Amino acid sequence: MTRDYVRSGLWLAFFGGILLAWWWLYQMATGMGIDLIGRPGPMAQRMAAMDPRMDMYMPMAEYGPVFWMWAIMMAAMMLPTLVPTLSAYEDLMTSANGTRAGWIGVIVGYAIVWVAFAAAIAGLQLALLFGGVVDMLGIPKTPWFAGSLLIAVGLFQFTRAKEVCHGVCHSPMSYFMGHWKTGFAGGLRMGLGLGAFCVGCCWGFMVLGFVGGVMSLLWMGLATLFMVIEKLPQVGHVVTKPMGGLLIAGGIAVVIAPLVTG
How many whole angstroms separate alpha carbon 197 and alpha carbon 200?
5
61, amino acid identity: A
Q: What does the pLDDT look like over 189-221, one tens digit per residue?
A: 999 999 999 999 999 999 999 998 888 888 889
Q: For residue 22, what are the CA distances in angstroms to 15, 71, 72?
A: 11, 12, 8
Domain ranges of the chain: 2-261
Select from 195, 234, 239 the least CA-distant residue to 78.
Answer: 195
Annotate 197-248 with three-state secondary structure: HHHHHHHHHHHCHHHHCCCCHHHHHHHHHHHHHHCCCCCHHHHHHHHHHHHH
How many whole angstroms separate alpha carbon 154 and alpha carbon 149?
8
pLDDT at 185: 95
pLDDT at 39: 67
Segments in the chain below pLDDT 50: 56
Q: What does the pLDDT look like over 158-190, one tens digit per residue?
A: 999 999 999 998 889 999 999 999 899 999 999
Contact of 130 with 53, CB cutoff 8 Å: yes
pTM for this entry: 0.89
pLDDT at 115: 97
pLDDT at 71: 96
pLDDT at 45: 63
pLDDT at 60: 77
Helix axes 172-179, 183-207, angle to 10 degrees: 140
- Phi first, then psi, for residue 33 (nearest 5°) are 80, 25
How many whole angstroms separate alpha carbon 211 and alpha carbon 251?
10
How many whole angstroms separate alpha carbon 214 and alpha carbon 216?
6
pLDDT at 54: 58
